[in-house]
Amino acid sequence: MLTYGPCQTPTLSFCVDQAERIKKFIPESFWSLKAVCEDTKYKENFTLKWSRGKVYDRQSAKVIFDMLKGET
């Protein structure tokens, strides 16, 4: 005999849903942008991060990277 309580059924449903999402997950490549700049006057470094987080288009990431390097 198997017994269950009123909280176990919704919990099991959440677990099954999560397991299904994990099975269907397809990883996607992404790039993140970060620049380390040097203030020559005060001899300090500071870091700039891309506020949007991840960039999923490689070409767009490369264009921004080249702009930061001053190559465009």
Q: What single-letter DSSP state applies at residue 7?
A: T
Q: What is the distance, to the nearest Å, from the Cα of residue 71 to the centroid of all Cα atoms in its chain?
A: 27
The pTM of the full predicted model, rounded to 2 decimals, is: 0.51
pLDDT of residue 20: 97
Domain spans in the chain, listed from the N-terminal domain onward:
27-72
Q: pLDDT 10s per residue in the chain (72 long)?
A: 666 677 888 888 899 999 999 999 999 999 988 888 888 888 889 888 888 889 899 999 899 888 888 865
Three-state DSSP state, 69: helix
pLDDT of residue 33: 85
pLDDT of residue 5: 73
